[in-house]
Structure 1
Amino acid sequence: LAAHPVRIEAPIPGKSLVGIEVPNSTKATVGLGGLLSAHEWSANGKPLLAALGRDITGAPHYVNVAKMPHALIAGATGSGKSVAMHALITSLLYRNGPNQLRFIMVDPKRVELTMYNGIPHLLTPVITDPKKAILSLKWAAKEMERRYNILEAEQVRDVESYHKTVYEPAKKDDVDEMPEALPYIIIVIDELADIMQSYPRELEASIVRLAQMSRAVGIHLVLSTQRPSVNVITGLIKANVPTRVALQVASQIDSRTILDGSGAETLLGAGDMLYLSSDMQKPVRLQGAWVAEGEVKKIAQYIKSHNAGDLNAIDMGGSGIMVADAGDAIGLASMREDDDIDDDLYLDAKAAVEEAGRASTSYLQRKLKIGYSRAARLMDVLEAKGIIGAQDGSKPREVLSSAGSASVSEDEDETF
């Protein structure tokens, strides 16, 4: 009874028993290699199968990313969060070539995911800038809409049906006009809190939009954070990301933020995790798979050396993002120059001043419900883009590019 910490499972799911989990004093490492060589792994033909770890009985545990369909990984520093992400990414790389699976990786810390730079699976080199991360999520939303148009035209429900009924038969018959391959896209964000500090509203809106609709078109989100607070993991994000992986956290409050229940605060760290999916009533305890940093680098180097020349990175100019170009493979080419605006409300501000015919900082504050500094910054952007004229004392600025009427009524003019 002196063991610490003891975790009580009451009752054990599916049994009329109470379980008491006592940590083993002799620790054993769960290697990723053992999971990838197991019969359960080789016998399962799902393309997005990933190895998580082993449960308390020693049985291997795998997860189909296509069924998750989005995951949130959270835990304190040193709990094994980054290793869990590397294990998931490496599992997917083992199963899929760049024609079947593509990644968008966001790593504000610049040290975890950048080792994957250069592999042909990346749609763009690992993104380290929060602004470019928001742009990549916007591109993913546009790609989602484009894919839905393709599925509608082919009269299929999801990407899996599209591959089985449209792409694979065309590939087997070697037709002249091959349909688009539509590879799966996994968006991996290593530290949600860092981007949330810079663009909270834009990040939440982009994640929620993708999480609500992108499963059917083969786009999946894997989010992680070491700050499991309600400011980072908001209610909307939690409601739309059903799969949670909780590693050791500092308090019961943090555990409830991730899992809506306690338990993660009593974990041992070093990959000890609670896994909860949408089809589970209670989380299952796992020891996460371990993969060393050197092994990840060797895998990335092997993939790069055996796919040389397949993909080339090209600069997309105005977007400032390097894009992987593979002929008919997808890229971030749909980013327009207008997308490279530091504020997500730019288009709303532009429409507001064009409709009114005059522009002022106070008007944008009231119209968009924002603070003075943000409204002033939007005015500077509108002036730089040639939408409004230069400042003339305290008078409202003239709108040079007007979509609506060029004048306002006397009552409207008084509101500026």
Structure 2
Amino acid sequence: MAKNHKKNQKKNKGKIGKPNMFALPEETKKWIWGVLILILAAIVALSFFDLAGVAGKTIMEGLTFLIGKAVFIIPLIFVLGGLVFFKTRYDKFLGPAILGILILIIGVAGILEILDRGEKNGGLIGYIFSFPFLKLFGVLVSEIIFGAIILIGGLVFWHLISGPKIKKAEKGERSEKIVSSKEEKRPSLIEKIFAPQFKIKEVEPKIRETSSKLEESILELKEKPISQPIKAISGAYQFPPIELLEADKGKPTAGDTITNSAIIKKTLENFGLGVEMSEINIGPTVTQYALKPADGIKLSKITGLNNNLSLALASHPIRIEAPIPGKPLVGIEVPNKERCKVRLRELISNPVFQNSASTLTIVLGRDVSGAPCYADLARMPHLLVAGSTGTGKTIFLNSLIASLLYQNSPAILRFILIDPKRVEFSAYHELPHLLTPVIFDAQRSVNSLKWLTSEMERRFDVLSGNGSRDINSYNAKVSKEGGETLPYIVLIVDELADLMAAKGREMEAGVVRLAQMSRAVGIHLVLATQRPSVEVITGLIKANVTSRVTFQVASQVDSRTVLDMAGAEKLLGLGDMLFVSAEVAKPKRVQGAYVSEKEIRKVVDYIKSENPAPQIEEGILENHLAEELEKTLENESPGFEDFLAGEDLLYEEAKRTVLEAKKASASYLQRRLRIGYARAARLLDMLEEQGIVGPADGAKPREVYFKTDTNNPGNNGEKDEWQKV
């Protein structure tokens, strides 16, 4: 037994070692067969003119006997068969090709036999196949049947020549997007020596096929279901259909990922940094090459070679993520040769979005691996959007609004839109979700913040009286009792810089006041600006709006202003952004969802046509509140500071302290009231505006005034006035 086993091993070894002369690539075999069939078509065509010799004459006689005059289309059918071998994108096509040839021959021979009955123009085959149909259905129906047979044969050839690629062919042409499979051919010795050692991670861009890995990469959403206890508007609200949005088109092209991986590894090794290439993630905008540094290598050395890698890859700009969150890897993000748009439709139809517990879930886009990304506005709870002109801020705001419109009726959510540029939000005119028409000027914007502050305080009183902690618990209690519920209110500002230039102090005071307290009562802010400077995004605004979306900016300074770190200056524009929040501390690169103005108008027009002028029930949003908002917007008050002047609990005490001491300064108020300088200075400004203290005069102390009383007998009935102490 052992001897026989050894003999078999030797025989097998010898067989494996011998090269196979006919081991040609499958593509070459297909082309050879295609050429042979085209030659056969040429022989048949030449036999029509007696130019193919004796063999051609014999072939002509045989075919004429079998199919009659249909022999004259044989060259055309053979040409189609040859094209199948050259153009097909299927692996198993021989059977369908032969079937298509037979169908065409039978169809043509049969219809020729039916048209000239008795002449045998269809040959033996035409007579055999047409005779039963003529007896059963007659001439007209038989012509229709054989005409359909010819059409079916043509469709078979058309499908074979222009049909889609199956998986194996797709793997052959898109090697940069596919994992090296075990079923592939055994690598040669040269490939073993020179091929880089890494894995390519396969990315499935179709969001309908959700997996556990994909769901893990999506930003965390609430898992516990939250009931939506808002009362419905009279009549059923019609949500816009998903068909109003356009579907995804095209695929990204990453280039030669094999070569790029080898270049990255070699470049780092040239600087003494040993790395092991890992996976490759192909996204809509960039391709991320993940690598694992050798032990003892500082990440700062890798990030310092950004320009060297950009030069070696002939690609700019390159962003290095060190490390990738949740992985012991470093990611090098290289721009794709061809980008693809991320459409809003596919992201909204995703089951993760459809099944999210919160109705304030917004669409962000797709990350560097092509996985969908979402965020919950209720958990942010406010959002700051920054980026240079033309980088995608307004499109992001439109996709944010659209994603909310697909989840909420006017009973659940209302908008206040501020558009200083007057053209960005024009598509939302007369949208039922709007509390007021789109606001354009700065004074009305400040007044809207005043109204929101008043509404916030009113809601706190309502929640306090009900014993509820936030708007969700309040609505849950009230809905069970059949009482009044409160909708969410989202304020969206398209250009904060313009408003800060016109009404800087008032806007900052209003934004900070709302950002600090409005989350619990369902009021959320979305602030966008194209000038991310410290004059616009002040320290107080940054401290209270922690969730930020940053598109491409002009410099590293602007990036640090928004994100407190560099990186946004290396983005590619056109929706390429970095997202950071309290839950995602490290910036996450996302290609923002694209929605065109045409799509937005379709959605808004559908909502307006199917849900005309909303009849809002009392309790959902009382009509007098909207009227108060309109009155507030028309009010020309001096500023937000006066609106909040009496709200500082220490104002009266500061006033009494200054009048008793007959002197006023910020340092004095700091010592007496035990407060910080900023609050003391603000109190001093309030006292000055009320006429209690005089203006600052350099290093000299401020003048203090006291108020005379008309009821004082010594005042001789004069009016009240402030007099210098």
If the length of structure 1 is used for normalisation, what is the TM-score? 0.79
Residue in 2 that maps onto 1:211: 515
Q: What does the per-residue CA deviation read over 1:261-290, in whole Å, with 9 as the maximum and x for residues that have no partner?
A: 110000000000000001223110000000
Give the Cα separation in 1 of the matches to 2:709 and 2:637.
Answer: 19
Residue in 2 that maps onto 1:39: 351
Residue in 2 that maps onto 1:170: 481
Q: What does the per-residue CA deviation read over 1:165-198, in whole Å, with 9 as the maximum and x for residues that have no partner?
A: 222x134xxxxxxx22210000000000011011
Matched residue count: 354
Q: How does 1:312-391 map to 2 (within 5 A)?
A: 330-333=625-628, 335=631, 339-344=635-640
For residue 304 of structure 1, report the CA deviation from its aligned partner.
1.1
Query: For the Cα contact (< 8 Å) 1:8–1:20, is it kept in 2?
Result: yes
Amino acid in structure 2 at the alignment position of 1:341: S
CA RMSD of aligned residues (A): 3.0
Task: Select 1:139's aligned residue among 443, 451, 454.
Answer: 451
Residue in 2 that maps onto 1:25: 337
Identity, in percent, stands at: 50
Give the Cα separation in 2 of the matches to 1:198 and 1:328.
Answer: 31
Given the alignment of the two structures, is residue 283 of structure 1 paired with residue 584 of structure 2, yes or no? no
For residue 369 of structure 1, report the CA deviation from its aligned partner.
8.0
Task: Select 2:472's aligned residue among 160, 183, 186.
Answer: 160
Residue in 2 that maps onto 1:59: 371
Query: For the Cα contact (< 8 Å) 1:364–1:370, is it kept in 2?
Result: no
Unaligned runs of 5+ in 2: 1-312, 660-687, 697-707, 711-717
Residue in 2 that maps onto 1:386: none
Q: 1:345 to 1:187 in 2, by over 3 A?
A: closer
Query: For the Cα contact (< 8 Å) 1:54–1:288, is it kept in 2?
Result: yes
Q: What does the per-residue CA deviation read over 1:128-176, in whole Å, with 9 as the maximum and x for residues that have no partner?
A: 0110000000100000000011111111110111122222x134xxxxx
Amino acid in structure 1 at the alignment position of 2:593: A
Residue in 1 that maps onto 2:556: 252
For residue 16 of structure 1, report the CA deviation from its aligned partner.
1.8
Classify the secondary structure of the residue corresponding to 2:628: coil
Query: For the Cα contact (< 8 Å) 2:446–2:640, is it kept in 1?
Result: no
Classify the secondary structure of the residue corresponding to 2:370: coil
Greater shift in the superposed pair: 129-138 or 38-47: 38-47
Amino acid in structure 2 at the alignment position of 1:126: V
With CA pairs under 8 Å and 6+ residues apart, which has the higher RCO, 1 or 2? 1
Query: For the Cα contact (< 8 Å) 2:453–2:513, is it kept in 1?
Result: yes
Greater shift in the superposed pair: 85-94 or 36-45: 36-45
Q: 1:164 to 1:11 in 2, by over 3 A?
A: same
Task: Select 2:427's aligned residue among 115, 122, 125.
Answer: 115
For residue 89 of structure 1, report the CA deviation from its aligned partner.
0.5
Q: Of the two, which has the highest radius of gyration? A: 2
Task: Select 2:501's aligned residue among 197, 217, 220.
Answer: 197
Q: 1:399 to 1:20 in 2, by over 3 A?
A: farther
Query: For the Cα contact (< 8 Å) 2:463–2:470, is it kept in 1?
Result: yes
Amino acid in structure 2 at the alignment position of 1:340: E
Query: For the Cα contact (< 8 Å) 2:453–2:514, is it kept in 1?
Result: yes
Give the Cα separation in 1 of the matches to 2:426 and 2:693.
Answer: 37
Q: What does the per-residue CA deviation read over 1:354-385, in whole Å, with 9 as the maximum and x for residues that have no partner?
A: x99xxxxxx759868889xxxxxxxxxxxxxx
Query: For the Cα contact (< 8 Å) 2:448–2:632, is it kept in 1?
Result: no
Given the alignment of the two structures, is residue 233 of structure 1 paired with residue 537 of structure 2, yes or no? yes
Give the Cα separation in 2 of the matches to 1:35 and 1:329.
Answer: 38
Q: Which has the higher strand share?
A: 1
Query: For the Cα contact (< 8 Å) 1:310–1:326, is it kept in 2?
Result: no
For residue 326 of structure 1, report the CA deviation from its aligned partner.
6.4
Q: Which has the higher helix share?
A: 2
Give the Cα separation in 2 of the matches to 1:276 and 1:14.
Answer: 16
Q: 1:263 to 1:308 in 2, by over 3 A?
A: same
Q: 1:10 to 1:153 in 2, by over 3 A?
A: same
Give the Cα separation in 1 of the matches to 2:609 and 2:413.
Answer: 18
Where does structure 1 differ by over 2 angstroms across 4 or more consecutive aligned residues? 325-330, 334-340, 342-349, 363-371, 405-412
